[in-house]
């Protein structure tokens, strides 16, 4: 059965800390891995990763994929209170390219 597992489930840090969120997967016919940030309502798209070893970066956020070891990490440096959210990892397959398999998410709380 395909599955996506995120760790830790929750994380509490102080502003300025650096955090690493993990996503491991067991999915047949892997095509892509996506990261989303969900605050109170809609998940917003962060990154899509398809190739191993190529870092994607946007401001203080970066992510990388390891297709050999079947995982991805999402790094947030110099965290701010606005980074507080649930971070969702999702995997798409090469067949049935429409569906995404979501992990349970990591809840990040950043305190001043």
Partner 1 sequence: GAVVSQHPSWVICKSGTSVKIECRSLDFQATTMFWYRQFPKQSLMLMATSNEGSKATYEQGVEKDKFLINHASLTLSTLTVTSAHPEDSSFYICSAKDPLAKNIQYFGAGTRLSVL
- Residue 48 within binding range of partner 1, rule CB under 8 A: yes
- Residue 51 within binding range of partner 1, rule CB under 8 A: no
- Among positions 20-39, residues that touch partner 1 (CB under 8 A) are 31-32, 34, 36
Q: Which is nearer to partner 1, 31 or 60 (CB)?
A: 31
Q: Which is nearer to partner 1, 3 or 15 (CB)?
A: 3
Q: Which is nearer to partner 1, 30 or 71 (CB)?
A: 30
Which residues fall within 8 angstroms of residue 112, CB to CB, at 6 or more apart?
Answer: 14, 15, 81
Chain contacts with partner 1 (rule: CB under 8 A): 31-32, 34, 36, 41-45, 48, 88, 92, 97-100, 102-105, 107
């Amino acid at each position: 059965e395909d599955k996506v597992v995120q760790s830790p489930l929750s994380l509490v840090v102080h502003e300025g800390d650096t955090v690493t969120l993990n996503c491991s997967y067991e999915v047949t016919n892997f095509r892509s891995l996506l990261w989303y940030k969900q605050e109170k309502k809609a998940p917003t798209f962060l990154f899509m990763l398809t190739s191993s070893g190529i870092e994607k970066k946007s401001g203080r956020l970066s992510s990388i994929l390891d297709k050999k070891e079947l995982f991805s990490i999402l790094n947030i440096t110099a965290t701010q209170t606005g980074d507080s959210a649930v971070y969702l990892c999702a995997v798409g397959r090469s067949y049935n390219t429409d569906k995404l398999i979501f992990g349970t998410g990591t809840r990040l709380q950043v305190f001043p």
